[in-house]
């Protein structure tokens, strides 16, 4: 099969190598969540886990640890800030 087009004549390092954005964007969603909570006043975000129904978040705010999905944790953070 000398004339076979699938004989390996495809360029190496073609279009698959060029785009780096998807790799950078999906590198660490946990880091993005951590930055969101730090900007909201959280002392530390200790763990972020991916769950089928969303994210489960451990947040330390003023010595209180919250375990909740991201939306609930955000509401609790805002409530803590309003009380202070």
Structure tokens that stand for 39 in this block: 């900007």
pLDDT tens for 10-69 read 555 555 544 444 433 444 555 666 666 666 555 555 555 555 565 555 555 565 555 556
Those residues with Cβ within 8 angstroms of residue 56's Cβ, 6 or more apart along the chain or in another chain: 48, 49, 67, 68, 69
pLDDT value for 22: 41
Helix (H, G, I), strand (E, B) or coil at 54: strand
pLDDT value for 23: 38
Give the C-alpha distances (Å, rounded to integers) separating 12 from 21, 54, 58. 20, 39, 45
Task: Please choose, from the candidates 57, 33, 31, the residue with its C-alpha nearest in 3D space to the C-alpha of residue 46.
Answer: 57
pLDDT value for 82: 82
pLDDT band at residue 78 using 50, 70 and 90 as cut-offs? confident
* pTM to 2 decimal places: 0.24
């Amino acid at each position: 099969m000398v004339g076979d087009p699938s004989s390996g004549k495809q360029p190496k390092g073609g279009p698959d190598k060029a785009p780096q954005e998807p790799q950078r964007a999906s590198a660490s969603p946990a880091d993005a969540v951590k930055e969101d909570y730090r900007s909201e006043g959280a002392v530390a975000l200790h763990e972020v886990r991916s769950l089928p129904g969303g994210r489960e978040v451990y947040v330390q705010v003023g010595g209180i640890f919250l375990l909740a999905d991201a939306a609930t944790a955000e509401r609790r953070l805002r409530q803590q800030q309003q009380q202070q």
